[in-house]
Structure 1
Amino acid sequence: MTERDGPLEAGRVRSVKSADRTIALLEYLSSADSRSLREVSQDLDIPRASAYALLVTLVRTGWVESERNGSGFRLGIRALRAGAAYVEHDDVVQRCQPVMNELSEKLGETIHLARLDGDEIVYLATCLSRHSLAVVSKPGRRLPCWATGLGKAILAHRRWSEVDALLPRTLTPRTEHTITDRAALRAELEAVAERGHATDEQESTLGLRCIALPLRFDGVVNEALSCSTPTVRLDAARETEILRALRQAQERILG
């Protein structure tokens, strides 16, 4: 690629099969504690010999680790370094982190920053609650967007046709409270857009309520800020306090 060339366009450049397989394998391993060679080969539809050669190469370079008995494979330390570097240099995280720290200190509850990626939200940063009964969602964790306050806060600022297109055909529930009907979800997103904040009413985790606000950068909402609290510590006055603090934080981040 020369200086005269513009950005690469996926439609004009053929994909590299080995690179596609490597990315698919790393994403596959990121969703599990450990996978066997047979599972990798079958689930990714890669010939066993090719899967083994790819795993050996990634183990050698530190992107994948093999278990001591050799029966399983998981992500290696280089994957951790890459993920940490992404967060460390992300402009939105750097902008939000100081405000999140202060918000966490003020409320004493778990504060999350997340970004929409496909039909999932990805946690970018977390400030943990000081209480023993607390929510723990580490950076890098993924959850279905329709089952979270963070996801709904983001989706509410998109046309329904766009939302409908990115959602899977079946909205799989995480709890008995998860909205799985498209019409009900659309109505919920319209209500979120009108009131300016979203809630997760035990839709992702039983016993947990989340209040989330959208973050609009450069005219687009791809991120959201939230406070997650066990329902046993919530009453109307506490919810009002949390929402007020979140709105103040939102203003500081965007102002």
Structure 2
Amino acid sequence: MSDSLGVLDRMTAIFEAFDEDDRGLRISELAERAELPKSTVSRLVSALVRQHYLERDGTVIRLGLRLFELGQLAEEPRELRAAALPVLADLRRATGRSAYLAIRDAHEMVCIAIMRGDTTTPLICRIGGRIPVHATALGKAALAHADPAAVDAVVATGLAASTPSTITDPARLRNQLVGVRRDGLAVDVEEFGIGVTSVAGPVFSPPGVLVGAIGVSGLSGDIDVEASGPHVRGAALALGRRLAPGGVPPRRPSH
């Protein structure tokens, strides 16, 4: 059982090594991003290519058709992502920073869309990647509007420190969430990544149902939190207006 879990962990690391902007990666690049031995990556890639989860074009590896087919089964995140892409593009253009959309899954946020901005800034997550709700602006933007039982559950799991700046005191986190609800914005200053600051806001679909969080991140010395705030709020409102009740875009009538 533990060996199987280890294999799944390694396969997941390979899938998460791909970036939205990637046109394909070589084995050495995959190994570096996944932080796995090159021999291990080569062996797993061969198996995944046989099952069509990955595709090989010479020395370049790409995500395969079967993986995308499975991804289509997650319809709501897919449709939410499609609605968000133009909004994220506008947010990236307005701020010059990487823009993200994420949805909450218990004590984690799952990134479902990313528009990369300044390439010198490391991404805080990848498509499908998970980040903690308590240590990120995206997470706190969503958690601030969750019911008290959800906040209690997050606190009960333990507020693990990602950096020395992570808030690990439950009372301090709860106080911060009150401010997020009041201001409509969440900020983390190097709480999840050293040298990286993020700003995020909650996204609501009619009639006020929380569906996720949208935000930007940048190098702490470069990003202007105060200037970014109105753009993030505007993006959250713009995306909410594109959604139908239930958190997905209205379906176009078939002809």
Q: Given the two structures, how large is their TM-score scaled by the length of structure 1?
A: 0.67
The equivalent of 1:241 in structure 2 is 227
Identify which of 62, 78, 81 aligns with 2:68. Answer: 81
* Match status 1:186 vs 2:174: yes
Structure 2 alignment gaps of length 5 or more: 15-33, 38-46, 56-62, 242-255
Contact 1:128-1:134 within 8 A present in 2 as well: no
Determine the structure 2 residue equivalent to 1:224. 213
User: Is 1:250 aligned to residue 240 of structure 2?
Assistant: no
Q: How many residues align?
A: 206
Work out which structure has the larger RCO, using CA pairs closer than 8 Å and 6 or more positions apart in sequence: 2
- Superposed displacement of residue 251, structure 1: 2.0
Partner residue of 1:198 out of 181, 186, 191: 186
2:104–2:139 Cα contact (<8 Å) kept: yes
Aligned to 2:51, which of 61, 67, 85? 61
Contact 1:150–1:212 at 8 Å: present in 2 too? Answer: yes
Q: Which has the larger radius of gyration?
A: 1
The separation in 1 between residues aligned to 2:11 and 2:106, in whole angstroms, is: 18
Q: Give the 3 Å change call, closer, same or farther, for CA 109–24 of structure 1 in structure 2.
A: same
Q: Is the 8 A contact 1:175 1:206 kept in 2?
A: yes
Aligned Cα RMSD in Å?
3.6
Q: Is the 8 A contact 1:87 1:93 kept in 2?
A: no
Rate the CA distance shift 1:201–1:87 in 2: closer, same or farther, 3 A: farther
CA distance in 2, matches of 1:147, 1:87: 28
Residue by residue over 1:51-106, the C-alpha shift from the partner in whole angstroms, topping out at 9 and shown as x without a partner, is: xxxxxx988634599xxxxxxxxxx8467425654489722111111111122122
Q: Are the counterparts in 2 of residues 115 and 124 from structure 1 also a CA contact under 8 Å?
A: yes
TM-score with structure 2 setting the length: 0.67
- Among all aligned residue pairs of Structure 1 and Structure 2, give the percentage whose two residues are the same amino acid: 28
Q: Which one of the candidate residues 12, 16, 22 is aligned to 1:30?
A: 12
Q: Which amino acid aligns with 1:245?
A: H
> 2:136–2:192: 8 Å Cα contact kept in structure 1?
yes
Question: 1:121 Cα shift?
Answer: 0.8
Amino acid at match of 2:231: A
- CA-CA distance at 1:231 after TM superposition: 1.2
